Amino acid sequence: MRRPYGPTPPRDASIPRLNLREVWGYLWPYLWDFKGRVVLAITALLAAKGATLAMPWALKHIIDGVDRSLQPELVLPIAFLLIYGFLRFGGVFFGELRDAIFSRVTERAMRRIGLRVFEHLHRLELNFHLSRQTGGISRDIERGTSAISFLMRFLMFNIVPTLFEIVMVAAIFTLAFSVWYALIILVAVIIYIGFTVVTTEWRTRFVREANQADSSTNTRAVDSLLNYETVKYFNNETFEAQTYDTFLEQWEKAKLKNRLSLLALNSGQALIIAAAITGMMIMATQSVIDKTMTLGDLAMVNAYMIQLFIPLNFLGFVYREMRRALTDLENMLGLLQREPDIEDAPDARELTVQRGEVRFNQVSFGYHTDRPILKGLDFQVQAGQRVAIVGASGAGKSTIARLLYRFYDIDDGRITIDGQDIREVT
């Protein structure tokens, strides 16, 4: 029974770090397969953003329309009320339509990538599966496929549209009011993004620790339960529970670090947003007092700021989650990048079995170079013959069967079936 005792093992150094450019290159073929749906989803996205940007403008005209200081004879601004209602509905409707159209793309990508990993794992050699923990691998695949769905959605429909919205709101403020409003927005956005990037990079290591602890804990549980019978033979339930609790303790500590670092990130982001909104509202309120702006203008400034910083705050969440998604993807794509140790020769042909004669010709093999198992093994099994292989535990009985199926490559000699070397057939 494999026993991953002790502290959480360090991250596998052979797994490459990922960046957004590499992930985009990996995901692009899956997007291109559904280019029609992608175009429709982007069209729905633009319609939703257009409706969202126009809502504060309609709200301004509604408020100015019922402001007695501007309109002594009040008339219900029914046209702008209807426009405002249509825009609010359109913003939600087109957003939902976008998600519905694009969901087929993400779900098909998750299916295809999940199948690709599954097939690749079956192509890897037996030694890989004997030396790896099934529970940990299953968690890596589960988190990796979820990360792909997240990245495909938010790379396309959150980051770029939010930056576009920031530029548009800054332009509206510059044209309608003053360039100072645009400067406050741009400075706040730059500080916000810089703070988010630096802090998120700092806390990414805590996310990795939590992921590693989660995989190790799940591995330990699966490993112990798969070997239930052995645990019972040795009356080892208490020891297994204590060991499992040790892994849970490591997971708990890693999650606590993750939460505290998230607290620091969220608090800093909230402070930047609050300072920017407060500064702009002070300027707008003073302008209303000075009669250079109307109450509708004040409401429009407030609506745009709230409308802008909600997705910007969400952008901070998206960036944090993207970093976590990249971390989740690393292990799964690391599995895909691992080349099998046992592969068919370039000119390998299909095995042709006519009689079924098996021959081990001076075969030598060892799982490790310093511990040979078989030395010059030579025997032949004629077609239709039955041969029993007996011996003490560890003598190599199971190894002979594994070598016949080419789960491992021999160190020396030949294994043939009807005279065909198994290393020369598929």
SS3 419: coil
Is the CB of residue 94 less than 8 Å from the CB of residue 44? yes
Q: What are the structural domains of the chain?
A: 20-337 (1.20.1560.10), 358-424 (no CATH)
For range 344-361, the mean pLDDT: 89
Q: Is the pLDDT of residue 359 over 90?
A: yes
Distance in angstroms between the alpha carbons of the first and the last residue of the chain: 32
The number of residues making up the chain comes to 426
Q: Is the pLDDT of residue 426 over 70?
A: yes
For range 113-122, the mean pLDDT: 82
The string of pLDDT tens digits covering residues 383-425 is 888 888 888 887 888 889 889 988 888 889 999 999 899 999 9
CA-CA distance, 164 to 106, in Å (whole number)? Answer: 23
Chain centroid to CA 73:
59
CA-CA distance, 103 to 421, in Å (whole number)? Answer: 49
The string of pLDDT tens digits covering residues 267-277 is 888 888 888 88
- DSSP label of 7: S
CA-CA distance, 313 to 263, in Å (whole number)? Answer: 14
- DSSP label of 9: P
Q: Name the percent of the chain lying above pLDDT 70.
A: 89
Q: Is the pLDDT of residue 304 over 60?
A: yes
Give the DSSP letter string of 220-261. Answer: HHHHHHHTHHHHHHTT-HHHHHHHHHHHHHHHHHHHHHHHHH
Q: At 1, is the pLDDT very low, low, confident or very high (cuts 50, 70, 90)?
A: very low
How crowded is residue 400: how many other Cβ atoms within 10 Å of its Cβ?
Answer: 19
SS3 content of the chain, % helix, strand, coil (to 5): 70, 5, 25
pTM: 0.56
For range 128-150, the mean pLDDT: 73
